[in-house]
A and B are shown apart, each in its own frame.
Chain A
């Protein structure tokens, strides 16, 4: 590798510039410097990559929580505003694991004028089922419902509203993203 031929001196000027002519120990220092540099650089690059990936994951988790929460609150408030009344016997009110039962004139089974609609949480997912239809999951598997609290507001005769407190948080540990949304909707099916 190291050419010591003095007759090729001219060719080596450039090296002579940088390194002393006496090159004993050079290889060792070179290797140490290279290995050191390589190590530092690879540590830096790996670190940055890990950081980038975790930030992207954080963003993804946050986006999932947000879009789930938005979809759920929009769906529920629409369902409530079309409903005629709350069906109290099967509703679980004022509880963080709530269940909301509504009597709605929309999408009723044949020969019925109204249908029952249930929205509930099993402590993890939010589910919805309308009479005569399949149970549907409103929340995705990547998030969990931490709070689904229903408060009934009775403003006066025939003027009922429902306040919903919805807590959605990410499933992916330890990436925490969570949101708490409040919404009040009047039952306008009887407006």
Chain B
């Protein structure tokens, strides 16, 4: 009776512990596998996004964006001014884990026009390899990119009015103001003899702080009037810090403006720069030029519109000043 107890307990314990250890191993393994699956999913999506970025860049312009890229060089897709661009400097890790790299390589065609490892170079096609790597592992996606849009005639827009001589880089506008409600800046322009359908406005701006408020543009008939249309929102931190760049504000659908009429391009921010303590953060410099009587005769710069939460405040017109701007319309 007595001996039975002791030996039995030892054996039983051994069996039970072995079983438990087995179960534990299985569950630990399943957790580990799930984690690996999660990392894989995150990485695959990042790689797919890299592909989409390449296609976006191609859609913008094959000649300007794809042709200048050097074969074999590592590029990193980053969003600048609300657009994908291919940068050579590493933007850092995603989720503190992943690095995403894109390599463009040359494509050759053989006698039957198929893609081959050697033959005639095809300038209208690129081989894209997106690599996402983390903790010693990596996944790779490969795709061939073609300039098929070069064969298509799409709708085109062209620049109709602009002032591009601006070069003074100063904080003239205090926009977006740091919670002090300094209002919005604007530039007026006069449309030409033909009534345009405006699709886009560019402003020559740069950010002077790492993360200013997000901004957008409005077209108005008067400085304090209702917006005829509102552009897309530009992420403040995605605006180039230096030098100033032409940032596109898109209007979709296009705005029909009257011929030979004065309109205002108003830059606005979210949270609004017009309200005190709205949480707006600055600032952004809109590059300008001051010469008497005025660098651009069709309009003038204006600042402090709607300041101190007063929507009727038309701000201050700066007659001798003009901001760098471009207006595009459908052809």
User: Bound pair: A and B?
Assistant: yes
Residues of B contacting A183 with CB < 8 Å? 45, 48-49
* A34, A51, A88, A182, most chain B CB atoms within 10 A: A182
Check B49–A180 contact: CB distance below 8 A. Answer: no
Contact with B along A130-174 (1 / 0, CB 8 A): 000000000000000000000111111111110100000000000
Q: In the complex the two chains form, what is the Cα distance from A66 to B24 in whole Å?
A: 22
Check B30–A66 contact: CB distance below 8 A. Answer: no
Check B16–A180 contact: CB distance below 8 A. Answer: no
Give the interface residue-count category, chain B.
35 or more
Q: In the complex the two chains form, what is the Cα distance from A38 to B8 in whole Å?
A: 12
Check A184–B20 contact: CB distance below 8 A. Answer: no
Rounded to whole Å, the gap between the CB of A52 and the closest CB of chain B is: 5
Check A155–B42 contact: CB distance below 8 A. Answer: no
Residues of A contacting B41 with CB < 8 Å? 66, 69-70, 179, 181
Known: A45-B16, A152-B232. A186 touches B94 (CB 8 A): no
Nearest 7 Cβ contacts at the A-B interface: A55-B27, A48-B20, A154-B250, A184-B52, A62-B34, A184-B49, A159-B59
Query: Which residue of chain A lies nearest to B97 when distances are taken between CB atoms in the complex?
Result: A180
Known: A18-B3, A52-B27, A55-B31. A157 touches B79 (CB 8 A): no
Query: Which residue of chain A lies nearest to B9 when distances are taken between CB atoms in the complex?
Result: A37
Q: Residue A125 at the B interface, CB < 8 A? A: no
**Which of A30, A37, A62, A182 is within 8 Å of B94, CB to CB?**
A182
Known: A59-B31, A180-B95. A154 touches B24 (CB 8 A): no
10 more contacts with CB within 8 A, not counting A41-B9, A152-B233, are A44-B13, A58-B31, A62-B31, A70-B41, A155-B56, A157-B199, A179-B42, A181-B45, A182-B45, A183-B45
Q: Residue B157 at the A interface, CB < 8 A? A: yes
Check A157–B155 contact: CB distance below 8 A. Answer: yes
Residues facing A in B145-162 (CB within 8 A) are 154-157
Contact with A along B9-29 (1 / 0, CB 8 A): 100010011001101100110
Q: In the complex the two chains form, what is the Cα distance from A159 to B149 in whole Å?
A: 12
Q: In the complex the two chains form, what is the Cα distance from A70 to B259 in whole Å?
A: 51
Give the interface residue-count category, chain A.
35 or more
Q: In the complex the two chains form, what is the Cα distance from A93 to B231 in whole Å?
A: 12
**Which of B5, B30, B155, B230 is within 8 Å of A158, CB to CB?**
B155
Check A160–B252 contact: CB distance below 8 A. Answer: yes
Q: Residue B175 at the A interface, CB < 8 A? A: no
Residues of A contacting B270 with CB < 8 Å? 94
Q: Residue B83 at the A interface, CB < 8 A? A: yes
Q: Residue B2 at the A interface, CB < 8 A? A: yes
Q: Residue B53 at the A interface, CB < 8 A? A: yes
Rounded to whole Å, the gap between the CB of A80 and the closest CB of chain B is: 11
Q: Residue B82 at the A interface, CB < 8 A? A: yes
Check B154–A158 contact: CB distance below 8 A. Answer: yes
Residues of B contacting A18 with CB < 8 Å? 2-3
Rounded to whole Å, the gap between the CB of A25 and the closest CB of chain B is: 14
Rounded to whole Å, the gap between the CB of A115 and the closest CB of chain B is: 17
Q: In the complex the two chains form, what is the Cα distance from A122 to B322 in whole Å?
A: 44
* B53, B155, B232, B270, most chain A CB atoms within 10 A: B232
Residues of A contacting B123 with CB < 8 Å? none
Check B232–A155 contact: CB distance below 8 A. Answer: no
Contact with A along B230-264 (1 / 0, CB 8 A): 10110100000000000010101000000000000
Residues of A contacting B122 with CB < 8 Å? none
Rounded to whole Å, the gap between the CB of A35 and the closest CB of chain B is: 12
Residues of A contacting B46 with CB < 8 Å? 182
Q: In the complex the two chains form, what is the Cα distance from A69 to B42 in whole Å?
A: 10
Contact with B along A52-65 (1 / 0, CB 8 A): 10011011001101
Check B57–A155 contact: CB distance below 8 A. Answer: yes
Query: Which residue of chain B lies nearest to A69 when distances are taken between CB atoms in the complex?
Result: B41
Q: Residue B214 at the A interface, CB < 8 A? A: yes
